[in-house]
C-alpha cells in the first residue's frame, strides 16, 4: 500500500520526536503505549540507552494521565503463569541498553484518568538517581502498532 505524503511526513516527525529524549548521556527511543480506557490500566514501552561511562538507575516514573505510575516486570513462572512484579528501580549500566517491551519491563499506568486513544500523545517523566529527569512524549498506537488515525488515502 502506498501512504500519502502527509502520512509519511507525520510518521517521520513522530519518529524523530520520539528519539529526542536525550539528557546527560541517556537517550530514550520510541516511547509508545497501547489504547486503554479511563479507569483501567495501561502500559508504556520504550528503549533506554545510557551513553555515559558510568552507570545510573531509573528510580521512578510520573505522569498526569494515571493515578499511579510504577516500574513493572512481567515474567512467566515455572508453571507457565504470567506474573507481574513492581520493581523498586531499574539499573542502567555504562553504555547499556534496557528494553521496556510487552512481556518484560514496562511502566504500569494504574487508574487512568483519561482514555488512551490511537494517535494521541501524553507525557511521562523518568526520574533517575544521577541524571536529570527526562520527560517523554508517548504516542498511543493501535493494537497493530500504527496510529490508525482513519487515513483513507491508502491505495491498494
Question: 66 or 52: whose pLDDT is higher?
Answer: 66
Is residue 83 within 8 Å of 76, Cβ to Cβ?
Answer: yes
In a domain, 155, yes or no: no
In a domain, 146, yes or no: no
Of 99, 152, 120, the C-alpha closest to 34 is 120
The rounded distance, in Å, linking the Cα atoms of 149 and 141 is 10
In a domain, 91, yes or no: yes
In a domain, 17, yes or no: yes
Look up the CATH number of the domain holding residue 126: 2.60.40.1890
The rounded distance, in Å, linking the Cα atoms of 125 and 127 is 6
Range of the domain at 49: 5-140
What's this model's pTM, rounded to 2 decimal places? 0.77
Tens of pLDDT, residue by residue over 100-155, are 999 999 999 999 999 999 999 999 999 999 999 999 999 999 876 655 444 433 33
Q: Give mean pLDDT, residues 39-53.
A: 95
In a domain, 150, yes or no: no
In a domain, 58, yes or no: yes
Is residue 125 within 8 Å of 91, Cβ to Cβ?
Answer: no
In a domain, 30, yes or no: yes
The rounded distance, in Å, linking the Cα atoms of 149 and 61 is 28
Residue 115: count of CB within 10 angstroms of its CB: 15
Of 5, 37, 9, the C-alpha closest to 140 is 37
Q: Around 93, how many Cα atoms within 13 Å sit in the side-chain half-sphere?
A: 4
In a domain, 18, yes or no: yes
Counted domains in the chain: 1
Amino acid at each position: 500500500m502506498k501512504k500519502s505524503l502527509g502520512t509519511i511526513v507525520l510518521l517521520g516527525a513522530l519518529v524523530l520526536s520520539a528519539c529526542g529524549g536525550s539528557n546527560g548521556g541517556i537517550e530514550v527511543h520510541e516511547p509508545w503505549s497501547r489504547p486503554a480506557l479511563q479507569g483501567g490500566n495501561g502500559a508504556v514501552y520504550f528503549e533506554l540507552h545510557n551513553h555515559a561511562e558510568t552507570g545510573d538507575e531509573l528510580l521512578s516514573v510520573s505522569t498526569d494521565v494515571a493515578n499511579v505510575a510504577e516500574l513493572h516486570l512481567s515474567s512467566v513462572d515455572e508453571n507457565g503463569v504470567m506474573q507481574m512484579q513492581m520493581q523498586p528501580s531499574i539499573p542502567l549500566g555504562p553504555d547499556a541498553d534496557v528494553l521496556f517491551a510487552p512481556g518484560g519491563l514496562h511502566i504500569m499506568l494504574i487508574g487512568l484518568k483519561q482514555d488512551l486513544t490511537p494517535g494521541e500523545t501524553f507525557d511521562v517523566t523518568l526520574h533517575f538517581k544521577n541524571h536529570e529527569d527526562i520527560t517523554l512524549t508517548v504516542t498511543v498506537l493501535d493494537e497493530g502498532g500504527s496510529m490508525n488515525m482513519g487515513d483513507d488515502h491508502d491505495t491498494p
